[in-house]
């Protein structure tokens, strides 16, 4: 068993192995890069690559559903890699979650951090076309709008994500303020 496969099997390393998988996808020409040297590298053979990719998906999906990944600051980092390799699994998961009492919060925790800048740090920018890859936009918009108008005390993080899903605009996770267009 290769060192990469050993790493992938350990759910505690999901954020790191997401980066390893990204690099392997570039090497196997499943992701594009501006650096042609990266496609010339070959860390493992193509059979092992397929095994690693499938094991990573399995481990990450298990960690999302049964582990602590949703509470990690790295949840979105792992999610943005996962959607590149397992869009169908995410669709199934979001369909299940949207019918649970805390399902919208789970979705928000998973997709929330889409970037960071020097103005106000981490932010969320979830556009209609993107979220529609995984769930019917009308359904999720209705859910987040209900959460926003419920009168419940929401963390700035959740408020920012819900506002971004509802409007498609950028909101900072630290204070739920709207991001500026530059």
Is 81 in the same domain as 97? Answer: no
How many domains, the chain?
Answer: 2
How many angstroms from the chain centroid is the CA of residue 160?
A: 16
Domain of residue 30 covers: 1-85
Among candidate residues 86, 139, 75, the one with its CA nearest the CA of residue 109:
75
* Prediction pTM value: 0.89
Q: How far apart are CA 74 and CA 78, in angstroms?
A: 6
pLDDT of 142-179, one tens digit each? Answer: 999 999 999 999 999 999 999 999 999 999 999 999 99
Indicate the residue among 16, 51, 85 that finishes a domain.
85
């Amino acid at each position: 068993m290769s060192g990469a496969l050993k790493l992938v099997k350990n759910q505690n390393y999901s954020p790191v192995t997401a980066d390893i998988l990204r690099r392997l996808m570039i090497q196997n020409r499943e992701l594009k890069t501006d650096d042609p040297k990266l496609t010339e590298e070959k860390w493992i053979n193509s059979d092992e690559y397929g095994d690693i990719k499938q094991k990573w998906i399995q481990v990450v999906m298990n960690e999302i559903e049964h582990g602590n990944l949703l509470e990690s600051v790295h949840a979105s980092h792992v999610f943005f890699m996962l959607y590149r390799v397992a869009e169908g699994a995410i669709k199934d998961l979001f369909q299940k979650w949207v019918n649970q009492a805390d399902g919208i919060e789970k979705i928000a925790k998973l997709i929330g951090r889409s970037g960071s800048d020097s103005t106000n740090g981490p932010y969320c920018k979830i556009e209609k076309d993107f979220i529609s890859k995984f769930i019917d936009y009308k359904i999720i918009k209705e859910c987040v709008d209900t959460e926003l108008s419920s009168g419940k005390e929401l963390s700035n993080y959740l408020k920012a994500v819900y506002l971004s899903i509802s409007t498609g605009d950028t909101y900072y996770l630290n204070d739920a303020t709207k991001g500026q267009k530059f």
